[in-house]
Chain A
Amino acid sequence: DTEVTQTPKHLVMGMTNKKSLKCEQHMGHRAMYWYKQKAKKPPELMFVYSYEKLSINESVPSRFSPECPNSSLLNLHLHALQPEDSALYLCASSQDGSATEAFFGQGTRLTVV
C-alpha cells in the first residue's frame, strides 16, 4: 500500500468555523508533511512531523494547527481562516525526515467563504 489518504476531498467553511483536515498512511513512514498549493503554483511546505514530533514550522499563522496523534495519522486543525487561505492542502509522507521519496495524497480542496 503506497497510498496517502486525505479526507475530506473538498471542504467549504466560513471564516468563523472550526474544521479539521485528516491524513493517513500505512507505509510505516515516520515523517509526515503538510503543504499548501495555490492555483498554478508549486506546493509550499507548511509543517513537518518527524517521529511524531513537529520538526519544521514554516512560519505558518496560528490559525493553522497541526497534530500528529500517531505515526500513521496527521491532522490539520483550522480556525478563523481567511478567504486567502483557500487552496489545495496536500499531505505527504516519507520514510524519515529527509524528505526522500515523499508520497503525496490527493489533497483537500479548501474554500473559505
Chain B
Amino acid sequence: GENVEQHPSTLSVQEGDSAVIKCTYSDSASNYFPWYKQELGKGPQLIIDIRSNVGEKKDQRIAVTLNKTAKHFSLHITETQPEDSAVYFCAAADNYGQNFVFGPGTRLSVLP
C-alpha cells in the first residue's frame, strides 16, 4: 500500500519568513496530493491540492510543487504569519480513493 513520509516533523520560522514542508510517496498510482492544516481542537482543513498532470499550483501565499518522477511534493508558505501556526498534513490518493494516506504531519510555529 501507499506510504507517505513528511519532513520536517517540527518547523519554527520567524514571522515574514518562508516555510517549506516536503513529502514523499511510494505508490506510483497516486495522482492526487492534498495538503491539510489542522489547528488545535479542530478538524483538518484543505488548504491546497495538486493533481499529477500539474507541476505547480499557487494560491496567494501558498504553493505546492509536484515531482512525479521522484515521487515527492512540497508545500511552500511565503510571508508567514502567526495564524499559519498549526499542524500540516500532506496526503496522497489514487483516482479510486482506495489509498488515501496521510503523512505523519509537521508542526509549524511562526514566531512573532
Chain A residues packing against B (C-beta within 8 Å): 4, 6, 31, 40-45, 48, 56, 90, 92, 94, 97-107
For the complex, what is the distance from the CA of A92 to the CA of B100, rounded to whole Å? 12
Q: Are B44 and A43 in contact (CB under 8 A)?
A: yes
Residues of chain B lying within 8 A (CB to CB) of residue A43? 44, 89, 102
Report the bound CA distance from A101 to B100 in whole Å.
11
Task: Give chain B residues whose Cβ lies under 8 Å from the Cβ of A98.
Answer: 32, 93, 95-97
Smallest distance from the beta carbon of A48 to chain B beta carbons, Å?
7
How would residues 89 to 112 of chain B score, 1 for a CB under 8 Å from any chain A CB and 0 otherwise? Answer: 100010111101011110000000
Say if the beta carbon of B61 comes within 8 Å of chain A. Answer: no
What are 14 A-B pairs at a CB distance below 8 A?
A40-B105, A42-B104, A42-B105, A44-B102, A45-B100, A48-B97, A56-B97, A90-B43, A97-B96, A97-B97, A101-B49, A104-B36, A104-B44, A106-B42
Chain B residue at minimal CB-CB distance from A4: B43
The answer to the question of B54 belonging to the interface, with a C-beta cut-off of 8 Å to chain A, is no
Q: How far is the CB of B45 from chain A (nearest CB, A)?
A: 7
Separation in Å of the A29 CB from the closest CB of chain B? 12
A107 to B102, CA, bound (A): 17
Inter-subunit contact A99/B43 (CB<8 Å): no
Nearest chain A CB to B63's CB is how many angstroms away?
18
Decide: A42 and B103 in contact? CB cutoff 8 A.
Answer: yes
Identify which of residues 45-97 in chain B touch chain A, using a CB-to-CB cut-off of 8 Å: 45-46, 49, 89, 93, 95-97
Q: Which residues of A contact B49 (CB under 8 A)?
A: 100-101
